[in-house]
Amino acid sequence: MAATISDIAKAAGVSLATVSRVLNNSGYVKEETKEKILKAIKDYNYTPSAIARSLSKKQTNTIGVIVPDITNPFYGEMIRGITKVAEEHGLNILLWDSHESVEREIKSIQALREHRIRGILITPTSSEDDRNAECIKNLENLGIPVVLIDGHLKYSNFSGIFVDNIQGSYDAVNALIREHHKKIAIITGRMNSKTAQERLEGYERALLENNISINKNYILYGDYSLESGYNLTKDILSMKDKPTAIFTSSNQMTVGALKALSEHNLKTPEDISLIAFDKVDIFNILGLNISYVDGPSTELGEIGMSLLLEFLNSEYNNKEEKKITLTPTLILKGSEKLIKK
């Protein structure tokens, strides 16, 4: 159906090679010949086939992106960062949403491999599972550079751009302690995620450095979903020795926590204090003034893509791994305050 390069060659009365030259702006072509070819291209509404070109060049111009949840604006912003940089370099994005499932992650990687992507950007769902790590190691062995964004893999010798989760939650919990909170609960993620482990670590470190002993009951494990944040917060609210503050370690769980508070007609910080990891724009827009640790979503995407470009441009050598860590900023809005009653 669509015109091919030889249709154009025929129409312009030249050879394929010449058409290819004007298509790629390579080699010398007489101005007059060029005109003829350009006209034929227009007449035929011709667009070169990236497929044929890729096969011939033995290289595509697409990169693969795998995120855990496309409906989470955090990842939407990350993708914007990625595409911004990718576009500047003529790269297309093949997108997959893993739905926080390692199985789907692996399937996605397989599909991307078939498409001979130049490189891959991934926020892995689990850092404790052998399967995704192996699968991704495979890519590297094939010479396909991999950049992790804000998430780790087992055997962590992968390049990537990360957020200093330990520092982030350490700062957050310290802010609570400075307000004289002693009973601080944390709602953290699944323990097969290094991110969750680190956020917990920052929490514990802050407590210990301040000689506050760790109360296991105050450590609640969610799964990054709104529901888990909601349920765990209800659990917290029904404790006999109720915490005076909650640290929620992901945006969806924070929303769930606030839902629970709202249902109980509790306000922050009057009734209970709260600091969140990750921004939820709407909170502050609505004047809720929730303090939070700001993980730079768009920046993660931009820097991650730039890192990948470095690998693509240099002769890629999977021995030299490169890790960049961004330190998140603690934004205090008032919800951390301890209101004496």
Residues in contact with a second copy by the rule CB under 8 A: 1-2, 45, 47-52, 54-55, 60, 62, 70-73, 75-77, 79-80, 83, 92-97, 110-111, 113-116, 138, 141-143, 226, 255-256, 258-259, 262-263, 280-282, 285-288
CB under 5 to 8 A by kind: which of a second copy, DNA, none does 77 bind? a second copy
Nearest to 322 by CA among 199, 88, 148, 126: 148
**Residue 312 touches DNA, criterion: CB under 7 A:** no
CA torsion, points 146, 152, 154, 155, in degrees to nearest 10? 60
Site pattern 250..289 for DNA (x: CB under 7 A): ----------------------------------------
212, containing H or E segment? none
**Between residue 17 and residue 36, which ones bind DNA under the rule CB under 7 A?**
17-18, 20-21, 23-24, 26-30, 32-34
Contact 196, 190 (CB under 8 A): yes
β-pair partners for 331: 292
Measured from the CB atom, the residue of 114 and 315 that comes closer to DNA is: 114
Contacts of 292 (CB under 8 A, 6+ apart): 172, 254, 275, 276, 277, 278, 279, 280, 283, 330, 331, 333
CB under 5 to 8 A by kind: which of a second copy, DNA, none does 32 bind? DNA
CB under 5 to 8 A by kind: which of a second copy, DNA, none does 324 bind? none
DSSP classification of residue 126: -
Find the binder of DNA among 49, 156, 262, 317 (CB under 7 A): 49
Contact 118, 61 (CB under 8 A): yes
Closest separation between CB of residue 78 and a second copy, Å? 9
Q: Round the CA-based radius of gyration of the chain to a whole number and report it.
A: 26
β-pair partners for 95: 65
Measured from the CB atom, the residue of 17 and 239 that comes closer to DNA is: 17
Query: Going by DSSP bridges, is the β-strand pair 273-277/291-294 parallel, antiparallel, or unpaired?
Result: parallel
Closest separation between CB of residue 105 and a second copy, Å? 13
CA torsion, points 174, 176, 179, 183, in degrees to nearest 10? -110
Q: Which of 10-18, 131-139, 175-183, 229-237 is the region at the interface with DNA (rule: CB under 7 A)?
A: 10-18
**Between residue 52 and residue 81, which ones bind DNA under the rule CB under 7 A?**
52-53, 55-58
Q: For binding to DNA (CB under 7 A), which residues are involved?
A: 4-6, 13-18, 20-21, 23-24, 26-30, 32-34, 48-49, 51-53, 55-58
